[in-house]
Each structure stands twice: as C-alpha cells, then as structure tokens.
Amino acid sequence: MATVTCDVCGGTFSQRHLASHKRLAHTKISASAAAPAAAPISEKEAMRKIALLYERLSVKGQKTIIRLLTMKDQINRNEQ
C-alpha cells in the first residue's frame, strides 16, 4: 500500500487512511463545540498540557512543532 505525506502536519500515512487522518486531526472545531461546559483554563495549565503533548511526539514531530511555532512567532513579531 502506498504511503503519502499529510500536507498539513507532514506525517506519513497509508493513502487509505490519509482522508480520515485529516478529518480527525486537522478539523477546526470551535471552542464552544469542543468543550461546551468547560471553564477556561489558565495559561499555566495550557502550557502544562502543551508540554505533556509535546513529550508524546516522535522526534520528527517535535522538530515539526518547533518549526511551526518559530514561524508563527516570527509572523506575530512582524505584525507588531
């Protein structure tokens, strides 16, 4: 079975599963739909959750996230 790369995250998937991956992993969900009754979390809690998720990534995934965050940071600095 052929493997393909997700154009959103760069992950490698079988061609058969790519559409499902994109639908499940990259669908934008509004905050109200994702957690209708949840209270907003603090910045400290958000950073803790991000760090925990980061640790679960492969080395390739960690490098990709660092690259994406660096690009977003540069864009934000240019907008200011």
Question: Tell me: the pLDDT tens digits for 31-75?
Answer: 445 555 567 888 999 999 999 999 999 999 999 999 999 999 998
pTM assigned to the model: 0.47
Could you give the number of structural domains in the chain?
1
Q: Is residue 51 situated within a structural domain?
A: yes
Q: Is residue 16 situated within a structural domain?
A: yes
Alpha-carbon span 9 to 16, nearest angstrom: 17
Q: Is residue 68 situated within a structural domain?
A: yes
DSSP state of 42: P
- List, for residues 5-28, the tens digit of each pLDDT value: 888 888 888 888 888 888 888 877
Q: Is residue 32 situated within a structural domain?
A: no
Q: Is residue 46 situated within a structural domain?
A: yes
